[in-house]
Amino acid sequence: MDLKINRIQHLRLPVTNLKASEAFYKKPGFAKVMASGFDYMGGQGAVAMTQRGEMILERYQIPEATLQEIRNRKDGHIEHIAFDVDSIEDAFTVLKNGAFSVVEDEPVLLPFWENGCKYFNVHGPEGERLELNQIL
C-alpha cells in the first residue's frame, strides 16, 4: 500500500500571547477557523487555527508557568509540519510497517474542528516532527 498525502495541512507555531498573535496574522488576511483548549502539564493551554485560502497556521499557547522555553528562543520555530491524509489508519499502517520512527502507539483523537481530528507523528532523520492528520 502506498502512502497518500494530499498536501501540507498546517504548520504549528508556539506563541507566548495568542491574542497578539491572532491580531498579527489577521493583518495579512488569516481568519480564525477553530479555537480550543487543551491540558498541558497540569495547566490549560489554548490553540487557534487561522486560515487564508488553503494555508492553515496552528498557533498554540501553553500555560504561563511553562512559557519560559518559548520566550528563550531567539528566532521562534515551527513546532511541526502536518500533512493532510484521507485515512489516518491507512497512513499509520504504512508508516509503522515501513520502519518509520512513529511516536504514538496509535492515532490520537482530538476534539478539534467540528467532528474532531486524528493524528500521529513520525520523526525525520534530523529529529524533525512530521504529523499525519485527518480532519473527521
105: in domain = yes
| pTM, 2 dp | 0.67
pLDDT of residue 67: 63
Structural domain includes residue 2: no
Q: How far is CA 23 from each of CA 17, 27, 77, 86, rounded to the nearest angstrom?
A: 10, 7, 19, 32
pLDDT at 16: 80
- 44 domain residue, yes or no: yes
72-107 burial, b for 16+ CB within 10 Å, e for fewer?
eeeeeeebbebbbbeebebbbebbeeeeeebeeeeb
Q: Is residue 69 a part of any domain in this protein?
A: yes
Total domains in the fold of the chain: 1
Query: Does 83 fall in a domain?
Result: yes
The residue among 71, 30, 37 whose CA lies nearest residue 51 is 30
| Full domain range(s) for residue 120 | 7-135
pLDDT number for residue 66 = 61
Residue 60 inside a domain? The answer is yes
Residues of the chain with pLDDT under 50: none
Domain assignment present for 99: yes
| Nearest partner of 118 among 127, 126, 109, judged by Cα | 109
CATH number at 43 reads 3.10.180.10
